[in-house]
Chain A
Amino acid sequence: MSDKLLEVHGLKKNFDGVRALADFSCSLRLGEILGLMGPNGAGKTTLFNVVGGFILPEGGNILFKGKNISGVPPHRIANLGISRTFQNLRLIRQISVIDNVLLSFRNQPGERLGNIFLHQRKSLNQEVANHNEALKLLGEAGLEEKAGDPAEELSYGQQKLLSLVCCLAAKTDLLLLDEPVAGIAPEVIERILGIIRTLPSKGKSVILIEHNLDAVMQTCDRVVFMDAGAKISEGTPEEVRNDPRVIEAYIN
């Protein structure tokens, strides 16, 4: 078995003639934090949608833990061990913060109809265990006081923090984080990046889309720079930052 957690080969996707992914390939090692950079419309979010199964690519394949997952429905991919946050911040706003976290746990016995009526003990026990773990995760993120509030009452930065906590609750091996620190206060940025940096030691790998150059420099092991759906540059954050092709892409 190779040490590659995720490999994508030759992904292609066009939206009404706009190239979102043009023969894009890259790979991610176990325990690696990979930064994904590039100008708007470079295809970064499209890549997340394709890996998550929300968009079918027109060509290429995706290997997760050595298994081909192209064409697998999103909820099955999520259960195989990929969780993600969304650029436009998706949360269930009308339920409480802790319920959002509880929702993210995978394979809950209480989510099966039969268990609710026939094996109530089993689903209740798991629910209590999940509840405690959710409180612990919220505590680590500094959100424990907000646990009972509706998610919509959190500030924007706290909502981003919450969506990261939800990814952690999912206990997946791969986290796809779409701009986790864009547009939020510096102290919350620090908290979020702090959590992300601890993930490799827990055996998790991360792909991080981010425009904030400082955040990427501090956090990522490796950076892939995309433009017009293709990989322009790849290497350590330092190398990519000084790559003339990257500088050219940003000026254009």
Chain B
Amino acid sequence: MEYLYHILVLIEIYFILSVSLNMIVGYTGLISLAHAAFYGVGAYVAALMALKLHSPFLANVICAIILCGLLGALVGIPSLRIREDYFVIATFAFQVITFSIFNNWISFTGGPMGLPGIPQPAILDLRISSNIGFLVLVGIFSVLTLWITRRIIQSPFGRVLKAIREDEVLAQAAGKNVAAYKVMVFVIGAGMAAMAGVMYAYYTSFIDPTSFTVMESIFIISIVIIGGAGSFWGPVVGAVVLITLPELLRFIGLPSSMAANIRQILYGGLLVAFMLWRPRGFLGKYAFQSREVRE
């Protein structure tokens, strides 16, 4: 049972990550490779605050979200003004730099040794220690993320996002400040990724840089694309599939050294298969392809 709860908590964390990235990639059409970086910064901020300042859980969540939002603006404002290819490169660069900081600033982040012993979170006097407790806590935050995202994409604001994805020139001609919308979406997404990071840090009570690599960013994008970019429930389905599928491999009885490699092959294979035969993912209505193809 504990194992099942563990998987469910992981799925909930990936709900937050993939739903927020879907707003950036699926609805606005910006390909960001920095989602794991914001996820990591959120995790590190919460872990460091909890370990060094002994500050309460909710304060750490709020600080991590605000800090990542600011960081998102810092990355987004210069790179979103130029062409979208450069945005991909800029987010990639940010991801790589962030990882190197986690990995090399040993006195602060612990370097490859990571940060162990993150205390259990407490809200008021309620201490969360069991897996089922985390299931509820992370569940609340992932439902909050889903609610906020739904509110945004169903509003006129969300309509502008879709317009930017389809045709920036038209959006400008209709009087929409395209650059400002892009930055806002990117900042919101960064804040949500930070929230997922905080959950992860508290849940595992130990973080190290390997959880926040470029591969992780690509994994989150895979969830979005396979689930269906630009559809609300797509990334939710994607997260369930991509988290449970490799876990099922354990029951086939493969040795763990092989299972880890097969997992990588599975992700890659799935991504290629979906791109070839179902580019819109499980639930998407919007085929994920370059603007040139759509013209």
Binding site for B on A (CB under 8 A): 52, 54, 73-76, 78-79, 83-84, 86, 90-95, 99, 102-104, 106-108, 110-113, 116-117, 123, 127, 166, 170
CA distance A170 to B188 in the complex (A): 28
Pick from B33-41, B176-184, B246-254 the stretch touching chain A. B176-184
A95 touches B159 (CB 8 A): yes
Contact B169 A116 (CB under 8 A): no
CA–CA, A91 and B174, complex, Å: 11
Residues of B within 8 A of A83 (CB): 173-174
Q: In the complex, what distance in Å separates the CA atom of A83 from the CA atom of B176?
A: 12
Are A90 and B285 closer than 8 Å at their CB atoms? no
Our pick among B166, B176, B177, B184 for the contact of A113 (Cβ within 8 Å) is B184
In Å, the complex CA distance between A79 and B174 comes to 8
In the complex, what residues of A have CB within 8 A of residue B170's CB?
A: 86, 90-92
Determine whether the beta carbon of B169 is less than 8 Å from that of A104: no
- Asked if B151 and A117 make an inter-chain contact with CB atoms under 8 angstroms apart, the answer reads yes
* A108/B173 contact (C-beta < 8 A), A93-B166, A94-B286, A103-B163 known: no
Query: In the complex, A110 Cα to B157 Cα: how many Å?
Result: 6
**In the bound complex, CA of A113 to CA of B155 (Å):** 9
B43 CB → nearest A CB, Å: 26
B173 touches A74 (CB 8 A): yes
Question: Of A94, A107, A113, which contacts B285 at CB under 8 A?
Answer: A94
Interface status of B255 (Cβ within 8 A of chain A): no
Q: How far is the CB of A112 from chain B (nearest CB, A)?
A: 7
Name the residue in B162, B173, B184 with the highest tally of chain A Cβ atoms < 10 Å from its Cβ: B173
* Interface residues on chain B, number (Cβ under 8 Å): 26
B interface residue numbers (CB < 8 A to A): 148, 151-152, 155-157, 159-160, 162-163, 166-167, 169-178, 184, 188, 285-286
- Decide: A111 near B178, CB < 8 A? Known: A90-B169, A94-B285: no
B interface majority secondary structure? helix
A-B contact pairs, 25 of them (CB 8 A): A74-B173, A75-B171, A75-B177, A78-B172, A78-B173, A78-B174, A86-B170, A90-B169, A90-B170, A90-B173, A91-B167, A92-B166, A92-B170, A94-B162, A95-B163, A102-B156, A102-B159, A103-B174, A106-B174, A111-B155, A111-B176, A116-B151, A123-B155, A170-B174, A170-B175
Taking CB atoms, residues of chain A closer than 8 Å to B163 are 92, 95, 103
The complex places the Cα of A108 from the Cα of B159 at a distance, in Å, of: 11
A106 — which chain B residues lie within 8 A by C-beta? 174-175
Chain A: minimal CB distance from B22 (Å): 16
Give the CA-CA distance A110 to B151 in the complex, in Å: 11
Contacts A90-B170, A93-B166 hold; do A127 and B156 have CB atoms under 8 A apart?
Answer: yes
- Contact across chains for B162 and A95 when beta carbons are under 8 A apart: yes
Q: Please, how many angstroms separate the alpha-carbon atoms of A103 and B172 in the complex?
A: 11
Q: With A75-B171, A83-B173 given, name 6 new contacts (CB 8 A).
A: A54-B173, A75-B177, A90-B173, A92-B163, A103-B174, A108-B156
Residue numbers in B under 8 Å from A73 (CB-CB)? 172, 177
Contact in complex: B160, A103 (CB < 8 Å): yes
**Please, which residues of chain A bring their CB within 8 A of the CB of B159?**
95, 99, 102-103
User: In whole angstroms, what is the CA distance A225 to B140 when docked?
Assistant: 65
Q: Are B175 and A110 in contact (CB under 8 A)?
A: no
Query: How distant is B163 from chain A, measured CB to nearest CB, in Å?
Result: 5
The answer to whether A94 and B160 touch (CB under 8 A), given A75-B176, A116-B152, A116-B155, is: no
